[in-house]
Amino acid sequence: MVTLAEVARHAGVSASTVSYVLSGRRPISDATRERVRDSIEQLGYQPHAGARALASSRSRIIALMVPLRTDMYVPVMLEIAVAVATTARAHGYDVLLLTGEEGPSALRRVTGSGLAEAVILMDIHLDDERLPVLRAAGPPAVLVGTPSDPTGLNCVDLDFAAAGALCVEHLAGLGHREIAVIGEAPGVYARHTGFAERTLRGLRDRAAELGVRLLHRPCEGGHDAVAGVLARIFDERPDVSAFVVQNETAVEPLLALLRRTGRAVPEDVSVIAVCPDQIATQASVAVSSVAIPAQELGRRAVERLIARLARPDGTDAVGVELLVPELTVRDSSGPPPSRRGPGD
């Protein structure tokens, strides 16, 4: 392995000069700089990451904690992770992959050892067990998601409450008065995953405001589970004329089941979803949906972190940054069938 000292010797300068050429923190004459650059090139020099981290106490590594469970929004999670890695690289950082399984201790480990300078957390629960670590003299951190009390924390999230509200508004505007919500798997709510509960709140609040009846049912993924939930919904509320789906694995099964039971979308029943665009556009009926801006979330999370790390005084411009949801109307939503009309 070629070291900085060898480069210095090869270029006929001192080690510190080479270092300053690399970092640019002190002026170096053009001639010298060129010579050093040549030597670096010729010798194929690469600075030793560990030595660098030791001397500068900056590892240039960000830790990313992804959920271990893969029971929801899998493509979104991967897309966020990839966006984080890509954006971090663009800023000269690398990304360390942590699984949620390890919990708070992993955060202590990687930051306490200087392995990572900062962390990005995904899959935030309302009362997340990792939060105490972050608040107590924790490392710079950004959460992708929002806990119930974000005081003193740095969050980036889609405004899921607004997304829920948007869905209800859209359907109410079309004339729907009975809406059913097919949600994530029960386990997701049991864990109090932030985005699921916030969406629900958004849905409920706006429904109340607009005088719309709302029925929420968690739902496991897959055809059979959806069939069961759907049957029970129609049983309980025969007049439901619209569905809001927040469960990517339920979208296509729902469409298939409605079709099979003789309900046309959107003529008889409307369906809208909160899901990645890919799911919405690839479904058998292009579904009106609120997209989940995965890339944007990942990118912003990193950028907030970089900005924070660049701030020398360690101040934290904490706060929640909510992305405004957008509803794209496609082919699955329309006015309800006229009441007690011939179609009934």
Partner DNA sequence: AGCTGTCGGCGAAGCGATTCGTCTCAGTCA
Partner DNA sequence: TGACTGAGACGAATCGCTTCGCCGACAGCT
| Interaction between residue 51 and DNA (CB under 7 A) | yes
Please give the residues from 1 up to 20 whose contact with DNA meets the rule CB under 7 A. 1, 3-5, 12-17, 19-20
Q: Which of 60, 65, 64, 46 is nearest to 6 (CA)?
A: 46
- Binding window for DNA (CB under 7 A); candidates: 45-53, 129-137, 247-255, 297-305: 45-53
Q: Which of 292, 290, 308, 275 is nearest to 120 (CA)?
A: 308
The torsion defined by the Cα of 131, 135, 141 and 146, in degrees rounded to 10, comes to: 50
As a whole number of Å, the end-to-end CA separation of the chain is 79
| Interaction between residue 320 and DNA (CB under 7 A) | no
Helix residue spans in the chain (DSSP H)? 4-11, 15-23, 30-43, 49-56, 74-90, 104-112, 131-135, 160-174, 186-190, 194-210, 223-236, 248-260, 277-282, 294-310
Q: Which of 131, 185, 273, 283 binds a copy of itself (CB under 8 A)?
A: 283
Name which of a copy of itself, DNA, none residue 232 binds, using a CB cut-off of 5 to 8 Å depending on partner kind.
none
| Interaction between residue 31 and DNA (CB under 7 A) | yes
Q: How far is the CB of 204 from a copy of itself (least distance, A)?
A: 28
| Residue 272 φ/ψ, nearest 5 degrees | -130, 155
- Binding window for a copy of itself (CB under 8 A); candidates: 5-13, 84-92, 300-308, 325-333: 84-92
Name which of a copy of itself, DNA, none residue 98 binds, using a CB cut-off of 5 to 8 Å depending on partner kind.
a copy of itself
CA quadruple 103, 107, 108, 114: dihedral positive or negative?
Answer: positive
Q: How far is the CB of 97 from a copy of itself (least distance, A)?
A: 4
Q: Which of 282, 331, 338, 343 binds a copy of itself (CB under 8 A)?
A: 282
Q: Which residue has the tokens 């001192």?
A: 14
Neighbours of 108 (CB within 10 A): 15
Q: How far is the CB of 106 from a copy of itself (least distance, A)?
A: 8
Q: Which of 44, 57, 312, 342 binds DNA (CB under 7 A)?
A: 57
| Interaction between residue 52 and DNA (CB under 7 A) | yes
Smaller CB separation from DNA, 2 or 215: 2
What is the rounded distance in angstroms from the CA atom of residue 336 to the CA atom of residue 342? 13
Quick one: the chain helix, strand, coil %, rounded to 5? 45, 15, 35
Interface residues toward DNA, by CB under 7 A? 1, 3-5, 12-17, 19-20, 22-23, 25-29, 31-33, 45-48, 51-52, 54-57
Q: Which stretches of the chain bind a copy of itself, using CB under 8 A?
A: 1, 44, 46-54, 57, 59, 61, 64, 66, 68, 70, 74-75, 77-79, 81-82, 85-86, 89, 94-99, 101-102, 108-110, 112-115, 221-225, 249, 252-253, 256, 259-260, 278, 281-284
